[in-house]
Each structure stands twice: as C-alpha cells, then as structure tokens.
Amino acid sequence: AQKITQTQPGMFVQEKEAVTLDCTYDTSDQSYGLFWYKQPSSGEMIFLIYQGSYDEQNATEGRYSLNFQKARKSANLVISASQLGDSAMYFCAMREEGKTDKLIFGTGTRLQVFP
Amino acid sequence: NAGVMQNPRHLVRRRGQEARLRCSPMKGHSHVYWYRQLPEEGLKFMVYLQKENIIDESGMPKERFSAEFPKEGPSILRIQQVVRGDSAAYFCASSPDSHLNYGYTFGSGTRLTVV
C-alpha cells in the first residue's frame, strides 16, 4: 500500500536561511505524483509544488524546490531564504495516477521561522 | 473566479445531532474529494465523487457517514448521530479532470466540534 513518511515533527530555522523538510514514500506504482502543501495556523491548505514520477528535472516554484531522488523514494522540500510567514505545517502527499487520484498525506512537519 | 467554497467554516453539534457540510467546487470542476483531518494529524481521504456518482468511498466510515454530489448544487457530506470522535476539520478539494497535475484546489475546510 502507498505510504508517505515525514520523520520530522518539528523544525526550526532562522530567517533568511534555507531549510529542508524530509519526505519519503512507498509505492509499487510506476506512475505517481508528489505534492507539498502548506497549512498555516488559519487552517487552509495551500498548494506549493508538484513533481511527477517521470519528471527528470527537480520541480521549482519560486523559493520552493523539490529534491526528488527516485531511487531513494524521497521527495524533500527545500525552502530557500526563509521568511517569518513560512511558519506553518507542511504536508507531503502522493497521488496514485490513473486510479481515483486520491491523495495520501504524511503526518506533517511544523516549521517555525525565528528572527 | 471563486475558489472551492466550503460552509459553514465552523460547526458545533451536540452528540446525536446531524452535521451537514457543504462544498461548492470551482467553476468547471466536476470532481470532488472529501478529506478529514483529526487534530495534529495529516489529511485522510474519505470519498471521491463526480456529478451524481460516488466513485470511491473506501475512506468513509461504514455507518453514519454519507456523501452526495447532485447534478445541481454543492456536494454534501452528512454525518448522522455525531459523536465526539467526529470532531475534526473536513476539507473538500475539486479538480477539472482527475489526471491533471495541478488539478487540486482545496477549500478552507469546515471545523466540526461535537460537544
């Protein structure tokens, strides 16, 4: 069965520094998608970045990049130049392609950015 | 161009009452997913619907929970005879096509509290 593992319950980073949030996944499918979402204290789910299993390049979106290592089944999120507003919960998720396309989420990492 | 609209934002119910959660997908989106988030946990898939059809309800509890997405109007998640363990945030997501990479848009969620 598909599974997402986020081993860091909480992370601290100083403003303007970079931080890496870990995510490993388990699937026997060849075609899948990996997502990162941000959930601030207000509660909404904000899409950050997507990586397809066949994408050869690591995905980037502004200050967010996804370090995709297929052989290791890892999809770590890198946030560069952290800002105070980045303090939030971050969830990694995987989508089974070609089936119902539902998302499977990890348990999340709480990131706190300090001045 | 309104996003996914969920209402109410907060809902308080006494044990034994019914809870009805509404989700209006983005315009042009015909796929709706419901997820539940227990406190301090990630989101868990509940049900996937298309117009007038339940496609996958593998994450729905067998009793008291039901969902619909009628031809006209919002998708409804109904919880009958609520219990304290139903207290959670319920998120709806919609997509125009289940195979698009960036297709998911989440609503802001409904926070259900059972007292």
Amino acid letter for position A51: Q
Which residues of A fall within a CB distance of 8 Å from B48?
100-102
B42–A91: do the CB atoms touch at under 8 Å?
Answer: yes
Q: Is B75 on the interface with A (CB under 8 A)?
A: no
Point out the residues of chain B with pLDDT beneath 50.
none
What is the side-by-side order of every strand in the sheet holding B65-68?
B5-7, B19-24, B75-79, B65-68
Which residues of A fall within a CB distance of 8 Å from B113?
none
Token pair listed for A105: 């989420």
The answer to whether A50 and B102 have CB atoms below 8 angstroms apart is yes
pLDDT for position B1:
52
**CA end-to-end span of chain A, whole Å?**
41
**Chain A nearest-CA residue for B50:** A100
CA distance A10 to B109: 23
**Nearest CB to B89; choose among A43, A46, A108:** A43
Q: Is B59 on the interface with A (CB under 8 A)?
A: yes
Which residue of A35, A45, A57 to mutate against B (max B Cβ within 10 Å)? A45
- pLDDT (tens, 9 = 90+) of chain A, 115 residues, equals 789 999 999 999 999 999 999 999 999 888 899 999 999 999 899 999 999 999 889 999 999 999 999 999 999 999 999 999 999 999 999 987 666 778 999 999 999 999 9
**Chain A nearest-CA residue for B59:** A102
| Region label for A74, one of left (φ > 0), alpha (ψ between -120 and 50) or beta (otherwise) | beta
pLDDT for position B95:
85
Work out the number of other CB atoms within 10 angstroms of the CB of residue B48: 25
Determine the distance in angstroms separating the CA of B74 from the nearest CA of chain A, rounded to an integer.
19
H or E element at residue A79: strand A74-79
pLDDT for position B101:
56
SS in 3 state form for chain B? CCCCEEECCEEEECCCCCEEEEEECCCCCCEEEEEEECCCCCEEEEEEEECCEEEECCCCCCCCEEEECCCCCCEEEEECCCCHHHCEEEEEEEECCCCCCCCCEECCCEEEEEC
CB contact burial B59-92 (16+ within 10 A = b; e otherwise): bbeeeebebbbeeeebbbbebeebeeebbbbbbb
Eight-class DSSP state of A86: G
**CA end-to-end span of chain B, whole Å?**
36
Q: Is B99 on the interface with A (CB under 8 A)?
A: yes
